[in-house]
Structure 1
Amino acid sequence: MFRKILLYIALSLTLISVIYFSFIYYIPYSEGVRSGELIKISHKGFIVKTWEGELSQGISGAQIFTFSVMENEDVVIAEMKKWQGKKVTLEFEERYKTFFWWGDTRYFITKVTLEN
């Protein structure tokens, strides 16, 4: 009887964890676009390295949009390195929460385009 209760508790906790992580990973809170001057892109961290960046949307950096880039977004990272200091448009997804191995912010860049 005790083993059966313990098994149900373990299965319930596992199911709740799977649902929680799936929700955080697959369902974005919002999606959008921001434009400005790409002023920073860096690979930072001590144990877990993440890609972090900043976009200046105002005069003299009055409005800074901080964002993260997922490690698997190789094309986005390469384009940001190439276009650093230029005016770009960033498409992003905002997540409900983030995990430390994803990045420091809840905003994750999915596409970057150079503005003319």
Structure 2
Amino acid sequence: MRKFLLYFILLAGIIFGGLYAFNYYVPYSEGWRAGKLIKFSRKGLVIKTWEGQLSTGVGQDHLWDFSVEDRDKLVIEKMVDYQGKGVKIRYIERFWKIPWLGDTKYFAKEIVLDKTAETIGN
């Protein structure tokens, strides 16, 4: 019985590890989104994650939520600097969200200032 339990736990660990690695290293999709960066903050009670919101049009239906991994320090710095401005964000979409990395399946990997976008107040 102990052997069976040990094998079961080992097999479950291998399956979980494989699924996690697949979800982390194999993106479901990649692309760019453009709009106005309206919110960027560090959220969470126990596990803090960086979360942002991009307005891609007019109204509540055109808000896009995304996350940024802690290790992407340059992206985080630029997000803080570019709040309220028109930006283009390169992102990856994972198959499912990983709670300790972010609240969404979308992870920003790069951000550039969109000089052609109109910004409010300028």
Contact 2:98 2:105 in 1 (8 A): no
- 1:83-102, Cα deviation, whole Å (9 max, x unpaired): 11000000000011112211
* Structure 2 CA distance for aligned equivalents of residues 49 and 63 of structure 1: 26
Percent identity reads 43
Report what 1:47 is aligned to: 46
Residue equivalent to 1:74: 73
1:92 alignment partner in structure 2: 91
Moved over 4 A (4+): none
Tell me how far 1:51 sits from its aligned partner.
0.5
Note the residue ranges of structure 1 that are not aligned, 5 or more in a row.
none
Other structure's SS at 2:97 match: coil
Moved more, 32-41 or 52-61: 52-61
**For residues 63-85 of structure 1, what are the alpha-carbon distances to aligned partners after superposition, in whole Å with 9 as ceiling and x for unaligned?**
11111111111000100100110
The gaps in structure 2 that reach 5 residues or longer are: 116-122
Q: 1:110 maps to what in 2?
A: 109
Aligned equivalent of 2:22: 23
Q: How many residues align?
A: 115
The two structures have a TM-score, normalised by structure 1, of 0.92
Instruction: Quote the offset at 1:18 in angstroms.
Output: 1.3
Check the 8 A contact 1:56/1:62 in 2, yes or no.
Answer: no
Match of 1:59 in 2: 58
SS of the aligned residue for 2:7 comes to helix
Q: Give the CA deviation at 1:62.
A: 4.7
The answer to whether the 8 Å contact 1:90/1:111 transfers is yes
Q: Distance in 1 between matches of 2:61 and 2:23?
A: 31
